[in-house]
A and B are shown apart, each in its own frame.
Chain A
Amino acid sequence: MTLLAALFSHYRRHPLQLLALATMIVLATMLWSGVHHLTSQARASLDQSESAVAERQQVERKDGERVTVADFVELRRQGLCVMPWLEVSSPEGGRVVGVDPLAAGCFESPDSEETPWRGELEGRPFVDISEAADLAREQTGQLSLLMSDAHSARDLPSAYRLAPFRVGPDTGELGDSFLLNLDALGVLVLLITALLVRSVYLLGMAQRRDSFALLHRFGVSRARINRLLVFEIMLLALVCILPGIWLGRWLANGLGTGFGRALEGLFDQPLYAGQDGGWLMPLATMLAVVLVACLADFLRPLARRLPGDGQRYGVLLALILMGGIAMSVWVSTLIWLFVAVAVVFVAAGTLAPMLISRLADWRAGSDKDPLSRWRHRELSVLARRLALPLVALQFAMAMVLAVQALVTTFESTFDRWLAQRLEADFYIEVPQSVDLTPAMDWLSEQPELAASGLWHRVVRGRATLPGESNEAGTKVDVFALGPIGPLVTGWQLFESTARPWQSLQQGHGVMVNEQLARRQGVTTGQSLTVELGSQELELPVLGIYPDYGRPAGEILLNVSVLPPDFIPSFQSLSISPGDLTIETVTRRLKEIWRVEELTVRDNRAIEDLASAIFDQTFLLTRAMTTLTLILAAIALLMMGWVFFSTRAWYFRLLVVWGLSRRQASGQLIRLSVSLTSAIALLALPMGIWLTWVLVHRINPLAFGWSLPMAIYPGFWFELGVLSLLIGLSIALLMSRQLRSPASVPGNANALAGGER
Chain B
Amino acid sequence: MTPTELEQLQKRAAEALSLRLQKRQVKSNGKPAERVLLICAGGACISCGEAPVWEALEKELVRNNLHDTVHMVQTGCMSACDMGPLVIVRPDNILYQHVKPEDAARIVQQHMLRDEPVTELMYRPHPEADPIPNPDEIPFFSKQVKIVLETCGIIDPENIEEYIAMEGYAALAKAVSAMTPQQVIDEVKASGIRGRGGAGFPTAIKWQMLHNAPGSEKYIICNADEGDPGAFMDRSVLEGDPHRVLEAMALAAYATGASKGFIYVRAEYPLAIRRLQIALEQARRYGLLGRRILGSDFSFGIEIRVGAGAFVCGEETALMASVQGRRGMPRPRPPFPTDSGIHDKPTSINNVETFASIPAIVRRGGKWYAGIGTEKSTGTKVFALAGNVNATGLVEVPMGTTLREIIFEIGGGIPGGKKFKAAQTGGPSGGCIPAEHLDLPLDFDSLQQIGSIVGSGGLVVMDEDSCMVDVAKFFMDFCVDESCGKCPPCRVGTKQIYKTLQKICDGKGSEDDLAILDDLCDVLRSSSLCGLGQTSPNPTMSTLRHFRDEYEAHIKGHKCPAKVCKQLLTYIINLEKCTGCSLCARNCPTDAISRIDGQRKYVIDQDKCIHCGKCHEVCRFAAVAIE
Q: Do A and B come from one complex?
A: no
Residues on B lying within 8 angstroms of A by beta carbon are none
Residues on A lying within 8 angstroms of B by beta carbon are none
